[in-house]
A and B are shown apart, each in its own frame.
Chain A
Amino acid sequence: MNGLHGLLGRLTVLYRTTAVRLSAVYLLLFATCAAFLVFYVSTMSEGLLRQQMRDAVAQETEQIESIFNKSGMNGLLRTLERRARQPGANLYIIASPTGEVLAGNVASLQPGVLDTEGWTETPFRYQRYQEEARGGNRPMAYAQVIVLSNGLRVLVGRDLGEPENFRKLVRQALMVALGVMGIGALAIWYLIGRNALKRMDRMSGASQRIMAGDLSQRLPTSGSGDEFDRLSESLNTMLGRIEKLDEGLKQVSDNIAHDLKTPLTRLRNKAEAALAGDEKAEYRIALEEMIGESDQLIRTFNALLMISRVEAGQAPAEMSMIDISGIARDGAELYEPVAEDSGLRLVTEIAETIEIKGNRELVGQALGNLIDNAIKYAEGGEGEPEIRVALARREGDVVLSVADNGPGVPDDKRDDVVKRFVRLDASRSKPGTGLGLSLVGAVMEMHQGRLELAATHPERENNRGLTVRMVFPVRSD
């Protein structure tokens, strides 16, 4: 009972698969067409056979009539006797005008057949002598009855066995064909459906593990490159992207936990300390400091949001042809007075009228971050007090770079400083969110470009400086 239930359940599930449903529909359609075709062919050919039979009978009655007219009763009897003996002979009866059978090869026949002249309306039953002796069946026949000039009636008939057999044969063939088709379809159903189901089961198993939180799981592929594989592959690519985003998110939340809690704690401490005192002036100072802290928090927040939005590939911020030479000049000009106040010279080396596809606001902000960093880290250093902003074409790319002569970044730390919140120990004392370079990196990613960090003076021991290059690929589109 359980086994039957299991099989039934399995078949129900099978029936629900698309492949099986489709093949069921096809099977039904095909079977209907085949049945119609067979019915049509058998009806048509049966009609044709019947027509041929009628023609043959009609021809024979004509002959009989002409033989009777030429050779009289004797000739007729001789001819009929000869014909009746042939194998597969027609039915012949000679009867009196009252319907008594005088001669012929028919032992008995349905009553009333001899009464009307012409074609019998419907097939009738009859029995030959041999069959009557054997007690065999009573086949059907069609016949024509004529009345001779002496009043005798002659019946010429033909057995219906031939078209009847033909019809039976065709029907049998149809049944067999349908049977084979049905069994074949069921087998194919089961095989295709089971195969599809197995793969589906594996896929849903994998997706359930993914849903349970294991994003490293991938859907199985068979390597055959069929639809299932293609589906699995694109889903796997999607999963890879989701996994990367998820990791980014985890990293961000870790960073937020760490780097936002610190200023929040400071904020809270300040409020507490101010509450403990009762000087009005003290309150004022504490509140101003707290506003300063919140502003810094908001900055960090904005930068984080922007980085994650850009990294998520979201916000394809408005891109248009922008005059990057102008952006470089404006950026240098904007920061030049600050640099000068910090005792640094800001020099430019900007190629004329270079245009790229990009977002002016974001590129401007990225450049601002780089110059700001350069000023912060080169200030008071021992290298030449100079910051160089350069824009040039390089092998089909457009490179916007900011170079300083500060302490630089050790070779093994270069990848780290681009990461969020990473600040080298030497810079911890300076104000900043630790997000400046990550933001530049994100902006470059959005422009399908890259960020390169190098020493300005790689040959030196100390004060090698840092050169940051924003490399924009120039595409022909």
Chain B
Amino acid sequence: MKILIVEDDLEAAAYLSKAFREAGIVLDHASDGESGLFLATENSYDVLVIDRMLPRRDGLSLISELRQRNIHTPVLILSALGQVDDRVTGLRAGGDDYLPKPYAFSELLARVEVLGRRKGTPEQDMVYRVGDLELDRLSHTVKRAGREILLQPREFRLLEYLMKNAGQVVTRTMLLENVWDYHFDPQTNVIDVHVSRLRSKIEKDFDQPLLRTVRGAGYMMKDEAAG
């Protein structure tokens, strides 16, 4: 995966470059809005990570300009403004995801990976499969090794989101955002409890674990047997 980071804080950019490279992601860096626009237009990236406040051209105007030029690369907005309204304006300007500063790198990495693979995950897939677990989006049924597992509606949506992003880390806030459509910090371990309930339903009576806890980051659906 190749991404572009537009960030004027050079120290933060250097840290991000190193961390992303260690995670196996190729990265270009622009330190102001205009050169960001140039790079994003000239080259092809999987994800753009754009700081909201930039010299020479601010982040939101950069995104609108890209969208006007018909460049639809997924954009993650980084911002020191973390209020409800700021998120809304960011997404309205054409951003695909919004992460308030300060953030954990694991959170940023997880979101960038999900955005970058978005293209490859056909939304129209009617059945998600991970190992012997099967989720039918049309009939709202979940089967493991042919045996039906009964889930609550919210548990179904939780599993659906996890399976859609199988092989990738999803964080607690990503789950809260995508399954409950809330963007605040739940503070307590509400999400963990939901996940562990779901896990007990899909892993009880089976040897092979499918839902891993990634320490310090979140969760990942993965068929460990398949490697």
Contact = CB atoms under 8 A, between A and B. Distances in A.
B98 to A, nearest CB: 12
Contact of A318 (B85, B102, B188, B194): B85
Contacts of A372: 187-188
A315 interface: yes
Interface residues of B, number: 23
Interface string B173-196: 000000010111111111001100
A164 interface: no
B67 interface: no
Contact of A338 (B100, B180, B188): B188
A250 interface: no
Nearest to B182: A364
B82 A302 contact: yes
B84 interface: yes
A278 B53 CA distance: 41
Contact of B85 (A298, A315, A368): A315
A404 B88 CA distance: 34
A288 B186 CA distance: 20
Contacts of B193: 337-338, 341
A198 interface: no
A317 interface: yes
A361 B100 CA distance: 16
B190 A337 contact: yes
A333 B85 CA distance: 26
A447 B16 CA distance: 40
A368 B82 CA distance: 18
Contacts of B182: 330, 334, 361, 364-365, 368
A306 interface: yes
A330 B179 CA distance: 11
B187 A334 contact: no
A361 B184 contact: yes
B184 A364 contact: yes
Size category of the A interface is: 20 to 34
A372 B190 CA distance: 9
A309 B180 CA distance: 25
A302 B190 contact: no
Contacts of B188: 338, 372, 375
B154 interface: yes
Contacts of A361: 84, 182-184
Contacts of B190: 334-335, 337-338
A317 B83 contact: yes
B140 interface: no
B84 A298 contact: no
A298 B188 CA distance: 15
Interface string B151-190: 0001000000000000000000000000010111111111
Contacts of B85: 315, 317-318
Contacts, number: 59
B83 A306 contact: yes
A206 interface: no
A317 B82 CA distance: 12
Contacts of A61: none
A454 interface: no
Contacts of A337: 190, 193-194, 197
A327 B154 CA distance: 14
Contacts of B84: 315, 317-318, 359, 361-362
B185 A302 contact: yes
A298 B183 contact: no
B137 to A, nearest CB: 21
B189 A338 contact: yes
Nearest to A335: B190
Contacts of A365: 182, 184
Interface in B170-227: 180, 182-190, 193-194, 197, 216
Contact of B184 (A295, A335, A368): A368
Contacts of A294: 102
Interface in A328-371: 330, 333-335, 337-338, 341, 359, 361-362, 364-365, 368
Contacts of B82: 302, 305
Nearest to A330: B180
A428 interface: no
A309 B83 contact: yes
A131 B82 CA distance: 106
Contacts of B104: 291, 295
B149 to A, nearest CB: 17
A333 B194 CA distance: 10
Nearest to B215: A288
A299 B88 contact: no
Nearest to A309: B83
Q: Give the residue among A294, A309, A365, A432 with the most B Cβ atoms within 10 A.
A: A365
Nearest to A362: B84
Interface in B74-128: 82-85, 88, 100, 102, 104
Contacts of A302: 82, 100, 185
B31 to A, nearest CB: 25
Which of B100, B154, B190, B194 has the most CB atoms of chain A within a 10 A radius of its CB?
B190
Interface string A281-310: 000000010010011001100100110010
Contacts of B189: 338
A334 B180 contact: yes
A284 to B, nearest CB: 11
B130 to A, nearest CB: 23
Contact of A299 (B154, B187, B197, B216): B187
A285 B49 CA distance: 31
12 contacts: A295-B104, A302-B100, A305-B82, A315-B83, A315-B84, A318-B88, A337-B193, A337-B194, A361-B84, A365-B184, A372-B188, A375-B188
Interface of A: 288, 291, 294-295, 298-299, 302, 305-306, 309, 315, 317-318, 330, 333-335, 337-338, 341, 359, 361-362, 364-365, 368, 372, 375, 432
Closest 8 CB pairs of A and B: A337-B193, A365-B184, A317-B84, A361-B84, A338-B193, A317-B85, A338-B190, A364-B182
Interface of B: 82-85, 88, 100, 102, 104, 154, 180, 182-190, 193-194, 197, 216
Given A302-B100, A317-B85, A372-B187, 8 more contacts: A291-B216, A298-B102, A299-B187, A318-B85, A334-B194, A338-B190, A359-B84, A368-B182
